[in-house]
Structure 1
Amino acid sequence: MVVTGGGGFIGSYLVRRLVHDGWDVAVVDTMIRGDISRFRDVADHVEVFDCDVRDEESLVNAFRGAEVVMHLAAVNGTENFYKRPELVLDVGVRGAIAVVNAGREADVPDLVLASTAEVYQTPPIVPTPETVALTLPDSLNPRYSYGGSKIVSELIAFNYGQEHYRKVQVFRPHNVYGADMGWKHVIPQFAVRALEAADSSEHRPVPFEIQGGGNETRAFCFVDDVVDGVLTMYERGGHREIYHIGNDEEVTISELAKRVGDSLDVKLDIRSGRGAAGGTPRRCPDITKMRSIGYSPKISLTEGLARTVPWYVEHRADVVDNELM
């Protein structure tokens, strides 16, 4: 099995699980944004190809002999969507074309593509099923660089690959979190900001501003549950199918901030702020389709935060090197 983006957050958890499950695993990743240390405990059992996911010729070499390619390589993170949209689009779209073409050239039978909930932006139905219409609300807003690239990637996977692949599947992970997920996401940013606010403020509870009114909701899914979902989908799911993988435990952003504070033993005075343009007021996946093939998330948000936040406390000094500030 080949995992593109195997040095990334979800990719590295997937690589470790695959090795533990007995797969022969290869990783395609330049490690410019990924980090091989994320799967250091199984690195001796992984073949690493240091090549750009847009380099089709190199991908063919990496893919030969593989049963399945799981394409996870992307430039993720909300800050990147706004600040580096050209790179987000280039890696997303050109990478998808290169991966699908290389898989055909290397005679790989199965293809799994990681998409995103961003493909449907503000959904008309919540919890949201796989059949919802995909939307791009405003092509002038760089926020949609990521969602737009994933819409195109889904089309590429299903249409470029329909003449070759035995199985093509797309999964849309929803608000995945866990230790070492990077710094440009809401949970690590809340954790670091809460610690800084507690250190610098004499007020108790500690003043803590969030984007928007705080009533916006998300349904966060711990990374181990997502990996379990991906493997369940591949084993039991169908050809040319899309699956929403996540948790349907919905929580407001203000409640999330409170729970992050609680996990740090810091009581927060949560204050609303200006919302980001293009933000989605509510997001929660309908995971009925995944449940029908045997998937069920096991880790609650409270338990997941207890596994996640301490990692960010321990690595707090690293934030300076990760451009959070």
Structure 2
Amino acid sequence: MTAATDTVQYAPAQLDRDATFYVAGHRGLVGSAIVRKLKTEGFTDVVGKTSAELDLKDREAVFAYMSDIKPRYLVLAAAKVGGILANSTYPVDFLSDNLRIQSNVLDAALANDVERVAFLGSSCIYPKFAEQPIREDSLLTGHLEPTNDAYAIAKIAGILNIQAVRRQYGLPWISAMPTNLYGPNDNFSPNGSHVLPALIRRYDEAAKSGAASVTNWGTGTPRREFLHADDMADAVLHLLEHYDGPEQVNVGTGSDVTIREIAETIAGVVGFDGETQWDTTKPDGTPQKLLDVSKLAHAGWTSKISLADGLDRTVAWYRDHIDSIRG
């Protein structure tokens, strides 16, 4: 592939429903939602490999697979992810694994002339004390949250990778930064999950065991925004068909709640009527992380699944799959 001499010239339009569409991370929370969305929308050749079938950290294997399937479209939803405990304990793993996954998949996509790529990051890329709600131009304007800085740096590198491809090769690749996601196929592990699935598991187990109390980390005062994975999948397809530009696009609901409020809501959904205690010796993380979603709204998309409805559906899914879920 030769370097581009001009800026990206691309007019977003409906994607070819018969073209090969590779979803990297197709079994995860976001990837599985994207696969469901694509199939619902009539895509006939949606492909993916499990981590057991294809280790995305294996560069040679990734290049061989991409050369074999020759996708026209690609969503990079694969990543090593975790909550505060996992990120704080294994920063080397979160940095190294994610950098290798991103580099391998994006380089292989470039080598195989993949037309349209969407790289999915995380709202943790923004400074810990960014002005709220967080605009896209807040990137690299301040210090990161120390408990997940390694993961954030890897995701920032992914954004720069997309921008570099646009500048050097003129390809219409884009980046989307979701807020806190939840839904079917989430990680409910006690040590590796994010806050919402961790709370669902904790309160559900307490309700079933008849426990008198549940103890959560921190003070419960930080504010978080939550987006259902099916909404995220809908937004990704919308962006691929309606947006093109070098700047990452925030994907969220535009509203947030405190951790204490979400804990109380989950307790009610699962039927836990005991006491909630807070271990204030444990870290809170970023005090608030609410995304400015005006760029996304300007592109014609807003969230559709309410938090109440999304929680009901997620708890029901968790209980139906409790014997087979991750964790």
TM above 0.5 = yes
Distance in 2 (alpha carbons) for counterparts of 1:317 and 1:163: 48
Residue type at the aligned position of 1:173: P
Judge which range, 189-198 or 70-79, deviates more. Answer: 189-198
1:170 paired to 2:190: no
Which one-letter code corresponds to 1:69 in the other structure? L
Match for residue 119 of structure 1?
125
Equivalent of 2:62 in 59, 64, 73? 59
For the 8 Å contact 1:100–1:161, the answer to whether it is kept is no
Q: Which digits, 9 at most, give the CA deviation of each residue in 1:270-309, with x for residues without a partner?
A: 3222264471111111111111111111111111001001
Distance 2:104 2:34 in 1: 22
Which 5+ residue runs of structure 2 have no aligned equivalent? Answer: 1-20
**TM-score, L = length of structure 2:** 0.83
Q: Tell me, yes or no, if the aligned pair for 1:217 and 1:281 is still in contact at 8 Å.
A: yes
Aligned residue for 2:33, secondary structure, equals helix
**Residues 43-82 of structure 1: matches in 2 within 5 Å?**
50-64=53-67, 65-78=70-83, 79-82=85-88
Counterpart selection for 2:101 from 74, 95, 98: 95
% identical aligned pairs:
27
Question: Does the CA-based 8 Å contact 1:244-1:290 persist in structure 2?
Answer: yes
Identify if the C-alpha distance between structure 1 residues 275 and 30 changes in structure 2 by more than 3 Å, giving closer, same or farther. farther
- TM-score after normalising by structure 1: 0.84
Q: How many Å apart are 1:119 and its aligned residue?
A: 0.6
Kept in 1: contact 2:39–2:46 (CA 8 A): no
Write the distance in 1 (CA, Å) between the matches of 2:119 and 2:56: 13
Ranges in structure 1 where 5+ consecutive residues have no aligned partner: 33-49
Query: For 1:121-161, what per-residue CA distance to the aligned partner results, in whole angstroms no more than 9, with x for missing partners?
Result: 4242111111113367479x563221121111211221145
* 1:266–1:278 Cα change, 3 Å: closer
CA contact (8 A) 1:192 1:313 kept: no
Q: Aligned equivalents of 1:255 and 1:278: distance in 2?
A: 15
Question: Is the CA contact (8 Å cut-off) linking 1:143 and 1:278 kept in structure 2?
Answer: no
Alignment check: 8 A CA contact 2:116 2:240 kept: no
**Within-5 A mapping of 1:271-310:** 271-274=277-280, 276-277=282-283, 279-310=285-316
Aligned partner (choices 303, 315, 318) of residue 312 of structure 1: 318
Deviations 1:56-96 (A, max 9, x none): 34333433432222111110111432333333222211222
**Quick one: higher RCO (CA 8 Å, sep 6+), 1 or 2?**
2
Change (3 A) 1:84 1:29: farther
> CA separation of 1:199/1:306 partners in 2, compared to 1, >3 Å: closer, same or farther?
closer
- Alpha-carbon separation, structure 1, partners of 2:108 and 2:203: 45
Matches of 2:115 and 2:264, distance apart in 1: 46
Change beyond 3 A, Cα 1:70–1:196 = closer
The reply to whether residue 198 of structure 1 matches residue 202 of structure 2 is: no
Of 126, 137, 140, the residue aligned with 1:134 is 140
Q: Out of 2, 10, 16, which is 2:30 matched to?
A: 10
Q: 1:226 corresponds to which letter in structure 2?
A: M
Match of 1:233 in 2: 239
Per the alignment, residue 92 of structure 2 pairs with: 86
Residue type at the aligned position of 1:218: R
Separation in 1, partners of 2:214, 2:117: 44
Write out aligned runs for 1:185-224 (5 A): 185-201=194-210, 206-224=212-230
Amino acid in the other structure paired with 1:105: A
Q: Alignment RMSD, CA only? A: 2.4
Per the TM alignment, residue 313 of structure 1 is displaced from its structure 2 partner at its CA by 2.7
Q: Give how far 1:20 is off.
A: 2.3
Partners of 1:210 and 1:254 within 8 A in 2: no
Aligned ranges 1:31-46 → 2 under 5 Å: 31-32=51-52
Cα distance change, pair 241–138 in 1 and its aligned pair in 2 (3 A) = closer
Residue 89 of structure 1 contacts residue 145 of structure 1 at CA under 8 Å; is this kept in 2?
A: yes
Structure 1 residues 144 and 294, CA, compared in 2 at 3 Å: closer, same or farther?
same
CA contact (8 A) 2:206 2:272 kept: no
| Counterpart contact for 1:68–1:109, Cα < 8 Å | yes
